[in-house]
Amino acid sequence: MRERYPFSEDVVCYPGKWTTMERGIQYLRELAVREMVYYDPDNVQLPIDPDEVQCTRLMWRRFVKSAPLAYANSLAVIDWKGEEAPTVDEASVQLQQHEENLFLPTGLCLSCGKTV
């Protein structure tokens, strides 16, 4: 693949909009595999498991662009604020928690633990 597409930007993934968070996480893993193809093969410190790959800003942007509207607006504002970017596995856990919080019954105040 590297011979045919020497630059990672030349490889285009068009998954369409994913409809479930599970499918979205799968797409994030696919983006991680794409990143791994362009790793330096001589660097033994780089992960060989897609779940251990750090989410790059470009990966995250592509992930958000592929998100359905119900998720896209809230995912677009997630920023790691100078922190080291999470791995795909860490991001997956955060995404599952985000989905649970996003679809809580209305009237439940998350910050105070009370219903309004």
pLDDT at residue 116, as a whole number: 41
At 103, list the tokens. 């679809």
Domain containing 18: what range?
8-102
Cα 18 to Cα 25, 26, 29, 67: the distances in Å are 9, 9, 13, 6
Would you tell me how many other CB atoms lie within 10 Å of the CB of residue 18? 18
What are the beta bridge partners of residue 54? 87
Query: What is the pTM assigned to this prediction?
Result: 0.73
pLDDT at residue 28, as a whole number: 93
Does residue 18 form part of some domain? yes
Contact call for residues 108 and 59 (beta carbons, < 8 A) = no
Q: Per the structure, how many domains does the chain have? A: 1
Does residue 111 form part of some domain? no
Q: For the segment 66-80, what is each residue's pLDDT rounded down to a tens digit?
A: 999 888 888 888 777
Q: For the segment 84-111, what is each residue's pLDDT rounded down to a tens digit?
A: 889 999 999 999 998 888 766 654 544 4
Does residue 115 form part of some domain? no
pLDDT at residue 7, as a whole number: 56
Does residue 89 form part of some domain? yes
Does residue 24 form part of some domain? yes
